[in-house]
Amino acid sequence: MAGIIRFNELTQQLVVYATDRANRPMQKEESRTPKTDDLPVRDVRCPFCPGNEGQIPEILYETSDKNGEWRTRAVLNKYPALTYEKQIEDYKTGIYTSVTACGRNEVIIESPIHNIDITQMPQEHVEQIIETYVKRYKFIYENYKEIQNIIIFRNHGADSGTSLVHPHSQIAGIAFTPKYITDKETAAKNHYEKQNHCLICDMVEYEMQENERMVYQNKAFYCFVPFAAEVPFEIWIAPKAHEGEFLNLGDKDQIELADALKTSLTRLTIRINDPDYNYVIYSGSRGEKTRGHLHWYLRIRPRTEKTAGFEIGTGVHINPNLPESDAKILRGEASILPDR
């Protein structure tokens, strides 16, 4: 059954209703805290483990190691938030509006090993995860013209909202543009029109000069705690060179991104004691004619803080940590414990 999106007239926000997801298997009792060491290498009940291929939809893409054993796989999400519908319809219910929830939701299984994390994988394995991201992103972008936005995301740990512990990411193509994304792209466009520069290029350039909030950098990527980080230890990974589209990430830069991602996550794991987190790759929406203002980036958002009444009431976040101090801790120049 097609899902439905309802529009809140007052907040101008969209809500997806995907009631089939209530049936999805949950393994929440096996929280990632205290993490992978407590889990088996293979779990007979896990649909992503080798030998349980009967429990997953058709394999859409696969990478393998030197011996021909699979390393990463892409499959359709069995319990998608959004499904692809040829017919997109609007519905009116009195003063309210709903629309068909159209999109495409794939799962990227990151490894055949049930209890491994990105931080424990060899570098070339992380490169294959990035390669899989790029290949699936391109496929969806080129084959589903109705899809306006594609995000890639990863949920790590019980507090991140993940339902299965086997290492995996998701890619969601959506046939509409959420207000959150429109607002960010409008802000970037306004900056570009005034300054004639891309906002994220300007941010990266300023951060590189200041070097106060830097977490890590390599040839192609700069990893930093943003100036107005919403939560403690938030990290953004942005390409140093201007690029609006994640799908243009070439082979060499895929290696650099794997290094930047693995290093940033390792710093979180070691220095902040492996917090639960979500990360999201944001790339430009389809159809923007002048794309000078769009610059893709990856945002890691740790889940160490619970959203409370003030945040819900105002939409304004309260962050108990200053980004500059967080960056120092992530670089290993200060300890998470206050100095005595």
Kindly write out the interface string for residues 277-316 of this chain, putting x where it contacts Zn ion by CB under 5 A and - elsewhere.
Answer: ------------------x---------------------
Of 3, 14, 32, 48, the one binding Zn ion by CB under 5 A: 48
Q: Which run of H or of E encompasses 60?
A: strand 59-64
Q: Scanning residues 321 to 340, which ones bind Zn ion (CB under 5 A)?
A: none
- Closest to Zn ion by CB, 46 vs 107, is 46
Of 14, 108, 121, 201, the one binding Zn ion by CB under 5 A: 201
Taking the C-alpha atoms of residue 221 and residue 89, their distance in angstroms, rounded to an integer, is: 41
Place of tokens 């011996």: 67
Question: Does 46 interact with Zn ion (rule: CB under 5 A)?
Answer: yes
Report, in Å, the least distance between residue 334 CB and Zn ion: 31
Piece of 98-106, 135-143, 194-202, 332-340 that binds Zn ion (CB under 5 A): 194-202
Of 71, 114, 299, 301, the one binding Zn ion by CB under 5 A: 114
Question: Does 215 interact with Zn ion (rule: CB under 5 A)?
Answer: no
Question: Does 126 interact with Zn ion (rule: CB under 5 A)?
Answer: no
Question: Does 49 interact with Zn ion (rule: CB under 5 A)?
Answer: yes
Cα torsion angle, 13, 17, 21, 26, sign: positive
Taking the C-alpha atoms of residue 78 and residue 172, their distance in angstroms, rounded to an integer, is: 13
Of 107, 188, 198, 220, the one binding Zn ion by CB under 5 A: 198
Helices (H), the chain: 123-143, 179-195, 199-210, 251-271, 309-314, 323-331
Question: Does 242 interact with Zn ion (rule: CB under 5 A)?
Answer: yes
Of 104, 154, 166, 271, the one binding Zn ion by CB under 5 A: 166
Q: Scanning residues 50 to 109, which ones bind Zn ion (CB under 5 A)?
A: none
Residue 140, Cβ density class (10 Å: 0-12 exposed, 13-18 middle, ≥19 buried): buried
Residue 23, Cβ density class (10 Å: 0-12 exposed, 13-18 middle, ≥19 buried): exposed
DSSP string, 148-174: -EEEEEEEESGGGT-S--SSEEEEEEE
Token couple for 301: 């958002």
Question: Which residues lie near Zn ion (CB under 5 A)?
Answer: 43, 46, 48-49, 114, 166, 198, 200-201, 242, 295
